[in-house]
Amino acid sequence: MIRTLRILAANPLSLLGLILVCLITLAAIFAPWIAPFPTHNGAVVDFLNNNRAPSARNWMGTDLVGRDIFSRILFAYQISLTLGVVVLAIAVPIGTMIGLLAGYIGGWLEMILMRIVDVFLSIPPLVLAIAMMGVLEPTLTNAMLAVTAMWWPWYARLVYSIARGEREEGYVLAAEVIGAGAGHIAFREILPNCLPAIITKMTLDMGFVIIIASSLSFLGLGVQPPTADLGSMVAEGARYLPDSWWLTVFPGLAILVAVFGFNLLGDGLRDVLGVDE
Amino acid sequence: MSILHIKDLHLGFKTLTGHVDVLHGIDLDIAAGEKVALVGESGSGKSVTARIVLGLLQETRTARISGTVQFDGQDINAMSARDRAGLRGTEMSMIFQDPTSALNPMFTIGNQFTEVLRRRDPKLSKAASHARATTLLDEVAIPDPARVLGAYPFQLSGGMNQRVMIAMALANTPKLLLADEPGTALDVSVQAQTLTLIRDLVEQNGTSVLFISHNLGVVREFADRVYVIYRGNIVEDGPTDALFANPQHAYTRALMSAVPRITGAGLPEVPEVSDDFLAPRISHGGAL
Amino acid sequence: MSGILRLLLNRLGISLIVLVGVSMLIFAIARIIPGDPARIALGPNANAEQIASLRAEMHLDASLPVQYGHFVADVLRGDLGMSLYTNRPVTQDIAQFLPATLELVFLAGFIMVAFGLPLGILAARHRGRWQDHLVRVIALLTVSAPGFVWAVILMLLFAFYLPLFPIAGRISDIYDIERTTGFLTIDTLLVGNWAAFGSAVHHLILPAIALSLSGIGQAARLTRANMVETYEKPYIEMAQAYGFFPSRIARSYAFKPSLIPSLTIIGLDFAAMLGNAFLVEAVFAWPGLSRYGVAVILRKDLNAIMGTVLIIAITFLIVNIIVDLMIAFLNPRIRYSTRGAS
């Protein structure tokens, strides 16, 4: 763990990713204390200061009802990161279990499970999430549900492909010969070999979940106003281009910076942990 | 005059943790038309020596090379990368251990042959190269050259690919041929045929050969002179007959006692490491 | 050639199974809707009679398997139902909006391949050097923002500040082009109107770039990764030992074998653009399927939602079959195998 971190920090790009991820996580956690205008997360109106360009008072300007955009971005990071953590915390164990079952047990179970996975993978992820949000009420919980539903198959496929390879490896056969149970082999022998790939993918996926979630709210299918969300902030501001550029540019860059951080970190982890692309 | 003159060649690699020395001052000479073998275990530094002669390792940023490597009177280490590349495939060429994996799976033999022939004659037409390749494949006793030229490497047997590779290596009549354990990946009878074929062709063309092997049995059949390399040092050298008749160095003796008399694949296993293996070089003479 | 035919039949068979699954999934999504679909469709002012008649029309009173059977039977007849939003058959809506989206996605896919692969080749050829690091940063940056962010940034820079490209739409209003294929770049050429063709292309460029950016990054990274692996192969050392030019080795000897594993993923990225088009079309007011999809989703227009997702899934499957066939044609092992692909 320490060794991994030290090798990571030796690469300037990975170090940048690590720093960005830490900064954004801290900013999200402590948003209520560090935001210059902590109340601006909700339905606050300040028409005296609305639609102002960036200034010393409002570093990233104010929106159409006078709320501080910088403060709202900090709160929006809370939503994005929570969503990412919740989605992965549900999708990864489900996908991993299914991948392990299909990959290690094999047989008709493999056939059925992987065909189901194929079905999910044969609809572009965003389209599936959009379709689900189309029939559900647009709330944060439902957005998490929709994104989770489209996310687990990717882990199932990842773990499946590794587990299927490991099934033929000598040490698995050796464990079978000495009479180890299927559960022991799957979780104690095969799963540890999948972990580097899973951890790398999870880091990269934090970024992708943020992208998908902001895409949903950009289309009006995610978190609803007045709650701050990066996607809906861009959508609201897009109508006022190019004059009120700060309405869209800063929330857009906020997405870019956060996802870039996770991608740099994940890319660095992949090199350190020796995971294939 | 010697075709290849190596003097005090050192090679080291920069690694994450520091520096690893691989060659500690190699001296080696090959005369025109001479077949010289470099024998040692894997990791002894024989393959990297061949790659320095070809000028490939010079392109690796982590490699530190010093000493003299003169090919046909020109110092390889002092040349530009472009000039070194100009020698490869024309003045010198190489035969690889596993012919099937050394041929590109996405191109037909004919296409790859054309590329090789165009190294010497960049304007060679497709038809002319096809005709020339047919002749060359005929020389290595390939029965149906036209079919082979249209085939992909995976459609041919290992022995057939080996012949193709030999024909390619000698197509531009190089002055020096490097052979890195040719045929080791093939079965024993094919390997023996391969060696006979190479010997006949190089003797016919007057090509010098640097033959790299771990197998003393094979070397005895093939080489005029032998260098034995151990951990980046030449420990013994001399004319093949003299060296085999009277091996002096402890490592050479260990290597010989470990080798089955017949030709065969697989690494010789030197039973144990002895301090005597690090004793100074013994030369039986015979070099220019 | 029988290898290819076998492969095609095999892929068609699998796609058919997957398609059945997709139809079930879409049906399931449509049925998880809380409340009565008929009531939602008709709005709060509908009376009980209207709701009952629509329920009968939508077979909502039957059991779920029967409902699914009706759904499949309708789809097989080419009937995706009426859109409650446009009051037209969904098939007609899709026929109108799909070409605009495909036109955008095709150009974006072309841009992805035209820039992503060369960037990947460059990075692999100079692996470990500054070119490699630069491509890595570019690739990671492009995949780090959703299409709508790139759309907004590109629009701001190249439509507003530097007015090089139009802000919205598919073609200038002054042209009235007869619809034949729905692809404006083709229709304008069919009527021989070069100025209109130029206008259509001009309108396409900025949205297509915005859509392609993350794909460029993906393609570059993938190409690099697979090529770096290929560079370790003996046949590359052989090419170097014969003094072939490094640029030729990169573009041909190392690139070709590594293209095959890359292609599958590039096909997936291409298909993912169908989803990302939802975001880019919204910014550029592009009258495509995605804008239609969002409109019907916001109105809970069930038939239209199911139809749209189904069409996108089918397009996705077709793209995958085409990619598999391309791989088969490129790979001499499959092309010359008589036993079929494994």
Contact C148 A263 (CB under 8 A): no
C-beta of residue A156 within 8 angstroms of C-beta of residue A162: no
Check if A195 contacts C (Cβ < 8 Å).
Answer: no
Helix (H, G, I), strand (E, B) or coil at B142: coil
| C-alpha distance from C163 to closest chain A C-alpha (Å) | 12
Contact B152 C238 (CB under 8 A): no
Contacts of B87 in chain C (CB under 8 A): 243
Residue C175's pLDDT is 81
Q: Which two tokens stand for residue B33?
A: 């038309």
C-beta of residue B42 within 8 angstroms of C-beta of residue B29: no
Contacts of C273 in chain A (CB under 8 A): 124
- A143-176 in b/e form (b: 16+ CB < 10 A) is bbbbbbbbbbbbbbbbbbebbbebbeeeebeebe
User: For testing the chain C interface, which of B47, B49, B104 should be mutated: the one with the most C CBs within 10 Å?
Assistant: B104
Nearest neighbour of C146 by CB, restricted to A238, A248, A255: A255
Q: A with C: how many residue pairs have Cβ under 8 Å apart?
A: 160
The structural domains of chain C, with segments of one domain joined by +, span 90-298
User: Which of C288, C91, C275, C15 is closest to A128 using CA atoms?
Assistant: C275
The dotted CATH code for C90-298 is: 1.10.3720.10
C-beta of residue C79 within 8 angstroms of C-beta of residue C63: no
Average pLDDT over residues B65-93: 91
Residue C141's pLDDT is 94
Which run of H or of E encompasses A123? none
User: Which of B288, B266, B284 is closest to B227 using CA atoms?
Assistant: B284
Check if C232 contacts B (Cβ < 8 Å).
Answer: no
CA distances from A121 to A75, B124, B187, C219 (A): 32, 50, 46, 19
- Whole-angstrom distance, CA of residue B185 vs CA of residue B264: 10
Residue A186: phi and psi, rounded to 5, are: -65, -45
Q: Measured at the alpha carbon of residue B208, what is the angle toward residues B207 and B212, in degrees to the nearest 5?
A: 125
- Whole-angstrom distance, CA of residue C142 vs CA of residue C147: 9
C-beta of residue A98 within 8 angstroms of C-beta of residue A152: yes
Check if B120 contacts C (Cβ < 8 Å).
Answer: no
User: For testing the chain A interface, which of C138, C152, C154 should be mutated: the one with the most A CBs within 10 Å?
Assistant: C152
Cβ-based burial of C287 (10 A; exposed 0-12, middle 13-18, buried ≥19): middle
| C-alpha distance from A184 to closest chain C C-alpha (Å) | 32
Q: Which two tokens stand for residue C170?
A: 């598919």
Give pLDDT tens digits along chain C (342 positions).
567 788 888 888 888 888 888 888 888 887 766 667 677 667 777 788 888 887 777 777 778 888 888 888 888 888 888 887 888 999 999 999 999 999 999 999 999 999 999 999 999 999 888 999 999 999 999 999 999 999 999 999 998 888 888 888 888 877 877 777 888 888 888 888 888 888 889 999 999 999 999 899 999 999 999 999 899 999 999 999 998 988 989 998 999 988 888 888 888 888 788 888 889 998 998 988 877 888 888 787 888 888 888 888 888 888 888 888 888 888 887 777 644 333
Question: What is the three-state SS of chain C?
Answer: CHHHHHHHHHHHHHHHHHHHHHHHHHHHHHHCCCCCHHHHHHCCCCCHHHHHHHHHHCCCCCCHHHHHHHHHHHHHCCCCCECCCCCCEHHHHHHHHHHHHHHHHHHHHHHHHHHHHHHHHHHHHCCCCHHHHHHHHHHHHHCCCCHHHHHHHHHHHHHHHCCCCCCCCCCCCCCCCCCCCCCHHHHHHHCCCHHHHHHHHHHHHHHHHHHHHHHHHHHHHHHHHHHHHHCCCHHHHHHHHCCCCHHHHHHHHHHHHHHHHHHHHHHHHHHHHHHHHHHHHHHCCCCCHHHHHHHHHHCCCHHHHHHHHHHHHHHHHHHHHHHHHHHHHHCHHHHCCCCCCC
Contact A125 C148 (CB under 8 A): no
Helix (H, G, I), strand (E, B) or coil at B229: strand
Closest-approach residue (CA) in chain C for A14 = C137
Contacts of A126 in chain C (CB under 8 A): 272, 275-276, 278-279
Closest-approach residue (CA) in chain B for C242 = B89
Chains that touch C (3 or more CB pairs under 8 A): A, B
Preceding amide of A242 cis, omega within 30: yes
Check if B52 contacts C (Cβ < 8 Å).
Answer: no
Contact B103 C245 (CB under 8 A): no
Check if A255 contacts C (Cβ < 8 Å).
Answer: yes
Check if B8 contacts C (Cβ < 8 Å).
Answer: no
Average pLDDT, chain B: 87
Q: Measured at the alpha carbon of residue A159, what is the angle toward residues A156 and A163, in degrees to the nearest 5?
A: 130
CA distances from B26 to B49, B50, B229 (A): 9, 12, 9
Check if B115 contacts C (Cβ < 8 Å).
Answer: yes
Nearest neighbour of C235 by CB, restricted to B88, B90, B104: B104
CA distances from B274 to B25, B230, B236, B277, C99 (A): 21, 12, 16, 6, 78
Residue C339's pLDDT is 42
Give DSSP secondary structure letters for A168-206.
TSHHHHHHHHTT--HHHIIIIIIHHHHHHHHHHHHHHHH
pLDDT band at B262, cuts 50/70/90?
very low
C-beta of residue A228 within 8 angstroms of C-beta of residue A72: yes
Residue A11: phi and psi, rounded to 5, are: -95, 120
Closest-approach residue (CA) in chain C for A266 = C140
| Statement: the pTM of the whole predicted model exceeds 0.90 | no
Q: Which amino acid is at A230?
A: L
C-beta of residue B22 within 8 angstroms of C-beta of residue B45: yes
Check if A124 contacts C (Cβ < 8 Å).
Answer: yes
Averaged over successive runs of 10 residues, the pLDDT of chain A (277 residues) comes to 80 92 95 89 83 87 89 93 94 93 85 88 83 83 89 91 79 75 79 88 91 90 85 89 90 96 92 76
Closest-approach residue (CA) in chain A for C41 = A135
Q: Which two tokens stand for residue C201?
A: 């292309």
- Whole-angstrom distance, CA of residue A31 vs CA of residue A74: 6
Closest-approach residue (CA) in chain B for C246 = B85
Chains that touch B (3 or more CB pairs under 8 A): C
- Whole-angstrom distance, CA of residue C82 vs CA of residue C91: 8
Distance of CA A77 to the CA centre of its chain: 12
Check if A112 contacts C (Cβ < 8 Å).
Answer: no
In what side-by-side order are the strands of the sheet with B74-75? B19-31, B2-14, B63-71, B74-75
Check if A168 contacts C (Cβ < 8 Å).
Answer: no
C-beta of residue C112 within 8 angstroms of C-beta of residue C214: no
Contact C240 B56 (CB under 8 A): yes
The length of chain C is 342
How large is the ipTM?
0.89
Contact C241 B94 (CB under 8 A): yes
Closest-approach residue (CA) in chain C for B111 = C253
User: For testing the chain B interface, which of C126, C130, C235 should be mutated: the one with the most B CBs within 10 Å?
Assistant: C235
- Whole-angstrom distance, CA of residue B121 vs CA of residue C139: 40
